[in-house]
């Protein structure tokens, strides 16, 4: 999925994401080195890692997202190379100590084959002993929590009406979102976006990671140290290349 107009309001919608906790989680395993931030979005995490001293490279499939990320890096006076790439095609990128795929970005891949290819590509891009960090929606969130739509946000600057329905594949969801973005005091611009996501059981991700040549170091849930439960919504994986 390549974000379009959504890129321009992405940061305002993601204000509740605890990016600092994400950085702390990764830093607890990998304190420095060359880091590749896949599906970097508008570059929030990449900037935080760079400011901590990591040597950061960022990539995203969306040209709009990369434009905003590069603007962010320029304002922060950071030299972070960026690439427009799909996460399952990383030809030419190698020598990294850590790779991140943050904020359920992996769930935008439509097939299990794409996820497996991504793990294989990341494995090739990492140095021996390098770490892969990613999070995904749980099957519970996709199958049950998301089906509680519509979800509504009524804000002065950005409002939306968000409808969901099951996708064609198991554990998949289609998001249909209508946005109203304030342009003048009493004028809002309306646009619509459709996003599709798919997830898999924890055991499936684990099997694919091991098949790609990773050892799983930890699997936790919901920005905590707790193991996933049947009610967990976001699953975090930390794996090491062997």
Indicate whether 123 and 204 sit together in one domain: yes
Q: What is the pLDDT of residue 13?
A: 67
Q: 177 and 67 in one domain?
A: no
Question: Does 162 score more than 60 pLDDT?
Answer: yes
Instruction: Say what the pTM is.
Output: 0.92
Shared domain for 215 and 193, answered yes or no, is no
The predicted-structure confidence for 103-150, as pLDDT tens digits, reads as follows: 999 999 999 999 999 999 999 999 999 999 999 999 999 999 999 999
- Across the range 153-170, mean pLDDT stands at 91
Residue 154 neighbours by CB under 8 Å, 6+ apart: none
Q: What is the CATH number of the domain that holds 186?
A: 2.20.25.110
* Integer CA distances (angstroms), 81 to 39, 43, 158, in order: 14, 11, 31
Residue 6 has pLDDT above 80, yes or no: no
Residue 68 burial by Cβ neighbours in a 10 Å radius (0-12, 13-18, 19+): buried
pLDDT at position 53: 96
What confidence score (pLDDT) does residue 155 get? 82
Residue-level pLDDT at 1: 43
Query: Are residue 123 and residue 161 in the same domain, yes or no?
Result: no
Same domain, 92 and 46: yes
Percentage of the chain lying above the pLDDT 70 cut: 94
CATH number at residue 45: 3.40.50.150
> Same structural domain for residues 55 and 101?
yes
Number of domains composing the chain? 2
State yes or no: pLDDT of 225 exceeds 70. yes
Shared domain for 42 and 128, answered yes or no, is yes
């Amino acid at each position: 999925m390549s974000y379009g107009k959504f890129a321009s309001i992405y940061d305002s919608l993601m204000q509740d994401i605890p990016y600092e906790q994400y950085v702390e989680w990764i830093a607890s395993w990998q304190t420095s080195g060359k880091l590749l931030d896949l599906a970097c979005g508008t570059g929030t995490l990449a900037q935080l890692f760079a400011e901590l001293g990591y040597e950061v490279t960022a990539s995203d499939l969306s040209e709009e997202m990369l434009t905003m990320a590069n603007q962010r890096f320029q304002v922060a006076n950071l030299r972070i190379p960026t690439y427009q790439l799909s996460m399952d095609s990383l030809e030419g990128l190698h020598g990294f100590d850590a790779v991140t795929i943050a904020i359920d970005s992996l769930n935008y891949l439509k097939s299990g084959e794409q996820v497996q290819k991504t793990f294989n590509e990341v494995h090739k891009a990492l140095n021996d002993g390098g770490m892969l960090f990613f999070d995904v929606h749980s099957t519970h969130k996709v199958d049950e929590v998301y089906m509680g739509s519509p979800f509504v946000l009524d804000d002065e600057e950005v409002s939306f009406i968000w409808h969901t329905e099951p996708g064609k594949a198991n554990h998949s969801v289609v998001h249909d979102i209508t946005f109203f973005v304030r342009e003048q005091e009493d004028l809002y611009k309306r646009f619509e976006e459709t996003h599709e996501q798919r997830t898999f059981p924890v055991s499936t991700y684990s099997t694919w990671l091991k098949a790609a040549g990773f050892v799983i170091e930890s699997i936790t849930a919901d920005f905590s140290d707790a193991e996933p439960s049947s009610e967990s919504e976001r699953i975090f994986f930390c794996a090491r290349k062997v």
